[in-house]
Amino acid sequence: MLVNELGKHDPSLEIIKGQDLNITRPADINSVEDNTLLFVGSKKFIESSLKAASEKKIAFVIDKKLYESLEEKIDDKVEALVLSSNVNISMSFLTKAFHEEMGQEENMAVDGRQMGTCDVHPTAWVAQGAFLGDKVQLGENVKIHSGAVLMGDISVGSNTQIFPNVTVYSNTKIGSNCRIHAGTVIGGDGFGYNFKDGEHLKVWHFGGVRIGNDVEIGANSCVDQGTFSPTIVGDGVKLDSQVMIAHNSKLGKGVIFCGQSGTAGSAVVGDYCVFGGKAGIAPGIELGPGSEVAGLGQVTSNFPAKSKIAGHPGRPIREWLRGIAWLRKQSNQ
C-alpha cells in the first residue's frame, strides 16, 4: 500500500512527505524493517523511532501535536511522514486496511497438502480431520490429531504433538518436543481496542507467536499473537490448563503458570518464574528471573529477581502476611 493511499482509510491523516513509499505492513521498534509503518504517539518513543528510521526506509504516523512540539523537526530524518490527530484511532483504521489486504493472500478453503504448498516430513503423523493450511511445515515425528487446524505459514518442530481441536493461527513457529493439549488456541488476536464515538475500534494484529522447545501447554489455554512483533514463549515453559498469555508477552526459559493464571499485554516474565493458580501480571510489567507469585497474586509493579509475591496489589510475601495478620487482629478487637 502506498503512503498516499493511507488517507482513503483515515481521512484525518495529513501526508507531509514520502507519498510514493510502498508500505508492506505496520511495525513496532522490535519488528521494523524497510517499507514498514511505525506509529509514534508519545515523546518517549521519538529517540528510538528516529534511530530505526536512520537504519530503515520506514513511514512515520506521528501525533500532530507531538510533531508540532518538537524543538527539532524530523522531516529530513524519515523516508515518509504522516500526521495524525489521534494516533490510536489511526492505528485501528490502518491496521484493519492492511489486515484486509494481507488476508486476501491466505487460502483457508483448500488443505495445503492438496495444493502442494505444505512441507510434511515423511515420518510426521496427521490424523483424518486435521487441516493444514498454506505453507505449513511439519518436522520429524510430529503428530497432529483430528480436529486440529493449522492455518498458513506455520512451522512445527520435530517430535511435537498437537492434540485434538487445537487451533494455530498463521505466523506461528512451534519448537521441538512440545505438547499442545486439546482446545488450545495459539495466535489469536490480542485484546486491543480504541474507543471513538461510542464504538470500540479494533487494533488488528500481525505479530505472530514464537514457541520454543520442550514447551507444554494445557487444555483450553490461549497464547495471543503480538500486535506487530511476536509473543514469545521460551524453552521449557509449562502452561497449565486455562492459562492466558496476552499479546506481546515474553516468557523466559522454564516459566510455569498454574491453572487460570496469565499475563496482560507486553508483560515480561524472567526465566524460571512460577505463577500460582489465578495469579497474574499487569500490562508492561517486568518480573525478575526466579520469582514466585502466590495463587491469586497480582503483580502490578516491577520486581527484581527471586522475589516472592502475594496479594493484590502484589507485595513481597512477608509484607503481605504481616498485613493479613494485622487485619485479623483488628477484626478480633
Residues forming the active site: 247
Sequence-distant (6+) residues with CB within 8 A of 50 are 74, 77, 78
Phi, psi at 114, each rounded to 5° = -70, -35
Tally the C-alpha atoms within 13 A of residue 331's C-alpha that lie toward its C-beta: 6
Q: How buried is residue 132: exposed, middle or buried, by Cβ count under 10 Å (0-12/13-18/19+)?
A: buried
2 forms beta bridges with 22
Cell of 5: 493511499
Q: Compute the distance between CA of residue 33 and CA of residue 52 in angstroms, rounded to an integer.
A: 9
Distances, alpha carbon 267 to alpha carbons 31, 100, 247, 249, 283, in Å: 17, 28, 9, 5, 5
Q: Compute the distance between CA of residue 126 and CA of residue 10 in angstroms, rounded to an integer.
A: 45
Q: How buried is residue 47: exposed, middle or buried, by Cβ count under 10 Å (0-12/13-18/19+)?
A: exposed
Cell 515420518 locates to 123
